[in-house]
Structure 1
Amino acid sequence: MPSRVIVNADDFGLSEHTNAVILRAFHSGLISSATAMANMPAFKAACALAQQPALRGRVGLHFNLTYGRPLSKAIGQLPQFCTASGEFDLGVSRKCLRLGRAAREAVEEELAAQWQHCLNLGLMPSHLDSHQHVHNIWPIGEIVARFAAREGVPVRLARNLGHNINPAKRVFKRLLNRRLRQLAGATADYVCTPVDLRDGLAPADGLLEIVAHPSALGSHDFGDAYLGTGESLQALLEQRLAGVPRVGYGVLTATPVGSGLLGEKV
């Protein structure tokens, strides 16, 4: 089994209902981390909740380029990112390996705006990941990882456990994760979903992040968007990871770029 596990709930701030479920999941000990969406309606409330002792220092930024409206101007003028009305509508291929200068600068500006919005509301993000895994697109991942290094926070790797990762995608993820580690300096060792955990794919060692989207399952239990109807995320974690400490990304300290200290596994 892994030595430690980060159970991270994505989409904090998406809605008041999502906030309530995530807050309850923190207080129950189900999750140990979350990431917030800075351009969503319930984000301000999420930042206030993040000041509670159970959440403090355990909430990162869920960088968003696919839902809602941007917080910066330039990206709203680029059709590969937004509609004519200024709503996010990402048209960048998942196989894209390069963005033009204007697109890169717009992504950097939007990331900085979402980060600053966190700071303005009293939230110092503990780490960085992205909505719908947009930082798994190579040039966006490089932007996110460089930004994480500048801010001294870890970044989420691309999912590297799972039976449904074909050979070509596995090679791509290995190379991308190597690049993310090189640029950011601090990551977990492995990333998976609750389904991967259910399939018996927990690693034998290292720091594992489980990407979760918890839902209420009765008054004292939790399901997850990745699991089937009625499946308990709580029972799954207790069964597969009994005794493994649940931690936040604060256990990692970002390594300065260029230090060469890249001791994480791919």
Structure 2
Amino acid sequence: MKLIVNADDFGYTRAVTYGIVDAFQNGIVTSTTMMCNSPHIDHAVELANQNPDLGVGVHLVLTSGTPLSQAVPSITDPNGSFYSQHVIFNHAEPEDIEREWTAQVERFLATGLSPTHLDSHHNVHEHDLALPIAISIADKYGLPLRRANNEPKTAINYNTVKQTTFMMRDFYGEQVSYETLEGQLRNVSQLNEDETVEINCHPAYIDSDLVSKSSYIDTRLKEYEILTSDRIKNYVHELGIQLMNYRML
């Protein structure tokens, strides 16, 4: 049984980036994904270069901040910001999503880093409109793509695009606890040796920048504390789970 523990939102704020790196250095996090439209991308790249064993992919953004592309009117509000996750697909046109997500991948490549995989902020690539676009971009760049869900038909749609066998997203919000994570780890330990799982997480430190633009704040620090605890690290060892990142998929 092989496990990827991916921390979303690398580069969102400086404190978030520091928290993710610490959760990698001192916890069970093995992978992260960068928000390439963030003003803090240079800081994230600097820390990524200092930690080459941390897998870093692209966190495709459609619902936070502003786009990298110029003419993508269907995904931006009158102020030029992305629509919120609650209304984005009431407006979005496929060509604008593809243009912007391609620009984000190209921005990542321009840093000199080699991306391990693709996923998306707020898991928007699960949406019926966005999933074919994400699959197409992953195929174009030869990158694995996070499983949008665990439905068999989704795996078939991925075709030759690499993916994990399962995706676990319960370690979030009110469900963030030792018991939730330990339950996920037990489920991982019961799989076959050739099966792979991603556990999604959002560890972080907190700064005023995060407070100003996210509704998910204090729980990120709780996630960090659990993911770096001796209790969880020892449990992973006891279960014989092999930690990996998407580069090893």
**Contact conserved, 1:49 with 1:55, CA < 8 A, in 2?**
no
Aligned partners of 1:19, 1:226: CA distance in 2, in Å? 12
2:129 to 135, 139, 142: 139
Encode CA deviations 1:230-266: one digit per residue, 9 max, x unaligned.
97234345436632111010112xxxxxxxxxxxxxx
Encode CA deviations 1:89-133: one digit per residue, 9 max, x unaligned.
14244xx8xx98xx2111111011101111112222110000000
Tell whether 2:235 aligns with 1:239: yes
Identical pairs, percent? 31
- Stretches of structure 1 lacking an aligned partner (at least 5 in a row): 161-172, 218-223, 253-266
The DSSP-based 3-state class of the residue aligned with 1:208 is strand
Aligned partners of 1:243, 1:54: CA distance in 2, in Å? 24
1:116 to 76, 89, 106: 106
- The answer for the alignment partner of 2:156 in structure 1 is 178
The DSSP-based 3-state class of the residue aligned with 1:149 is helix
- The answer for the alignment partner of 2:214 in structure 1 is none
**Contact conserved, 1:5 with 1:209, CA < 8 A, in 2?**
yes
Q: What letter is aligned with 1:17?
A: A
List aligned pairs for 1:34-73, cutoff 5 A: 34-55=32-53, 58-73=55-70
Q: What letter is aligned with 1:246?
A: L
The DSSP-based 3-state class of the residue aligned with 2:129 is helix
> How big is the alpha-carbon RMSD for the aligned residues of Structure 1 and Structure 2?
2.8
Distance 1:140 1:238, change over 3 A: farther
List aligned pairs for 1:71-150, cutoff 5 A: 71-75=68-72, 77-78=73-74, 81-90=75-84, 91-93=87-89, 103-150=93-140
Distance 1:153 1:85, change over 3 A: same
Tell whether 2:246 aligns with 1:249: yes
The DSSP-based 3-state class of the residue aligned with 1:8 is strand
Residue 84 of structure 1: how far off its partner (Å): 0.5
Aligned residues: 221
Q: What letter is aligned with 1:239?
A: Y
- Stretches of structure 2 lacking an aligned partner (at least 5 in a row): 207-217
Aligned partners of 1:248, 1:135: CA distance in 2, in Å? 20
- The answer for the alignment partner of 2:148 in structure 1 is 158
Q: What letter is aligned with 2:244?
A: V
- The answer for the alignment partner of 1:15 in structure 2 is 13
Distance 1:189 1:49, change over 3 A: same
Greater per-residue helix proportion: 2
Aligned partners of 2:76, 2:118: CA distance in 1, in Å? 22
With structure 2 as the length reference, what TM-score do the two structures score? 0.78
Aligned partners of 1:86, 1:132: CA distance in 2, in Å? 19
